[in-house]
């Protein structure tokens, strides 16, 4: 059963609309859709939600992307393990707007996933949200920290697609 959905991103207004913070955008949309508020706890923000009758904690690590896994000592004390989570993250290897839920796999160069894997391994659910890849692969680090070039409406549709996929996954369990 999914107990926690962790959206990856970077804290702060400067990063709010960047590609790397799409995980934050998705959990924020879930909180808004299910009417739950955010509060600070340890090194993350949490929103306790009831999604399709199931209690689910939505989490936004406040450690910056490369240290996203640092939230796990606190989560593990609450009994949250790898099989209890969905991690929502940006995915360079998929075109903008494509959303895929998958279990397990490598980090594929994603430093937020690498950080999480140091704590819980690679056997957890992921909601991969396609952001596309820049033409020049040397530009990846700046690409992920840039705002989307697509319209706000297109970004909102992509976020809602991810929300719908996560809700469908919760209903399945």
| Contact between residue 59 and residue 45 where contact means Cβ atoms under 8 Å apart | yes
CB-hemisphere CA count at 13 Å for 18? Answer: 20
Bridge partners, residue 54, by sequence: 51
Terminal-residue alpha carbon distance, the chain: 6
Strands 54-61 and 4-7: parallel
| Contact between residue 52 and residue 161 where contact means Cβ atoms under 8 Å apart | no
Name the 3-class secondary structure at 150: coil
Residues marked as catalytic? 20
């Amino acid at each position: 059963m999914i107990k926690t959905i962790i959206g990856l991103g970077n804290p702060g207004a400067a990063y709010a609309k960047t590609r790397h913070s799409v995980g934050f955008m998705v959990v924020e949309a879930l909180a808004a859709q299910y009417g739950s508020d955010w509060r600070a706890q340890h090194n993350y923000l949490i929103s306790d939600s009831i999604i399709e009758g199931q209690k689910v904690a939505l989490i936004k690590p406040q450690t910056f992307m490369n240290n996203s896994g640092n939230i796990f000592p606190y989560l593990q004390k609450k009994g949250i393990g790898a099989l209890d989570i969905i991690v929502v993250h940006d995915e360079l290897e998929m075109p903008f707007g494509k959303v895929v839920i998958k279990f397990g796999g490598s980090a594929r160069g994603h430093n937020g996933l690498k950080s999480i894997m140091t704590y819980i391994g690679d056997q957890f659910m992921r909601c991969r949200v396609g952001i596309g890849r820049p033409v020049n692969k040397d530009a990846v680090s700046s690409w992920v920290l840039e705002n989307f070039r697509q319209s706000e409406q297109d970004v909102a549709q992509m976020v809602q697609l991810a929300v719908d996929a996560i809700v469908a996954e919760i209903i399945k369990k």
